[in-house]
Structure 1
Amino acid sequence: MSAREVPGYCSFTKAIEHLGDRWSLLIVRQLGVFGPLGFNELTRSLPGRISRSVLIERLRRLETLGLVSRDESIGYRLTTVGTGLMPVLYALRGWAETWLPDDPAMMERDPDVVLGWLAQRVSKKHLPTEPVVLEFWPYEHDRHYWLVLQENLDPYGCLVDPLLDTGRYVYVQCALPTLLALARGRQRWSDACADGSLTATGEIGLCRRMTEWFAPITASMASAAD
């Protein structure tokens, strides 16, 4: 089946073509949050700088699409169609707050900080009796990072290979955003393994137990992470 034959693909493409620029969704968001706004009010409320000509063009497009209407007395406002887009924008905001709060380059600038966050997520009640080394291989670059876990010892991170028994290594591959989400308590290890955003190789028994070594995410942890 080609991309064009996937159900909903054409609708998705149309949405991106009409609304996928820098300003359109921001305009919808401002009107949805603040209600009707005059042209000058809308210009001032938008983050960043938008020229008058660009704002005029975007508003005309949104009017043509039926998302925005203009009233001489109150200014621009969302139509019923435009209001129906707000739950999508709130969902997008929630996704961004979960996945995009940290700069992935932080792992290169301050890897010891990220390893410290990972160590804080460890559940000390379920640690292995013999030392286990999690060796992280981010997809984005060739640098590796290590986290050492053992019962009755505080977990600690290493920027060089601790050179322990290689039979006790679990090799973890994932993208930097996934690693940061795990470190900040925004994603469960079990979910990352289940959806394929993280893969683990090494001794099978250790790989199966890996998710037990990290505490479940709680509301207080998620709040602290933010």
Structure 2
Amino acid sequence: MGEAHEPRSGCPINAAVEVFGDRWSLLVLRDIIFGGRRYFRELQAGSMEGIASNILADRLKRLVEFGLLTREDVRPGQRARYSLTEPAIQLVPVFAQLGSWGARHRPTSSELRAGAEVLEQGGPALWLELMDELRRSHLGSPPAASSS
């Protein structure tokens, strides 16, 4: 993947799917966005779906290569911390819509469906609020100016 990767087509949906369309990449991003996990061990230990360490390492590497995450350079013996980039933060509405669809059309647990319902009911205003909080905690930047 990475720098020399040519997309299969110029379709925007294909372009997006090639970056984050495998299930593990989306779940890793979900756990960073909604679970506040920033370190490899946190992501692996907190994975509800039981991601294997080799798959997690591969997906983190790919997400960095595709510009959805950054990885802090660390000295030997230190844990690397991952941060969302602006393109990853802009996936919040996509996750909200995926969660809404999944809650309506697939079997889910009521406990885990609650988060999707809160995002759906909060709508774009809540999504923008969450995105601004992610910008502060991951990018160290002030909230984006509202375009409304």
Q: TM-score, normalised by structure 2?
A: 0.57
Matches within 5 A, 1:1-226: 10-71=11-72, 72=74, 75-101=81-107
Cα distance in 2 between the residues matched to 1:46 and 1:61: 18
Cα distance in 2 between the residues matched to 1:74 and 1:53: 16
| Percent of matched pairs sharing the same residue | 35
| Contact 1:68–1:82 (8 Å) recurs in 2 | yes
Aligned to 1:200: none
Shift of 1:44: 1.0
Gaps of 5+ in 2: 1-9, 109-148
Higher relative contact order (CA 8 A, sep 6+): 2
Q: Secondary structure at the match of 2:82?
A: strand
Bigger radius of gyration among the two: 1
- Report runs of 4+ in structure 1 exceeding 2 Å deviation: 71-74
Task: Indicate the structure with greater helix content.
Answer: 2
Cα distance in 2 between the residues matched to 1:63 and 1:21: 15
Equivalent residue pairs, number: 95
Please, what is the CA RMSD of the aligned residues?
2.2
User: What is the letter of the counterpart of residue 68 of structure 2?
Assistant: L
User: What is the letter of the counterpart of residue 30 of structure 1?
Assistant: D
Task: Indicate the structure with greater strand content.
Answer: 1
| Contact 1:66–1:79 (8 Å) recurs in 2 | yes
User: What is the letter of the counterpart of residue 87 of structure 1?
Assistant: P
| CA deviations over 1:37-61 (Å, ceiling 9, x no partner) | 2110111111222222111111111
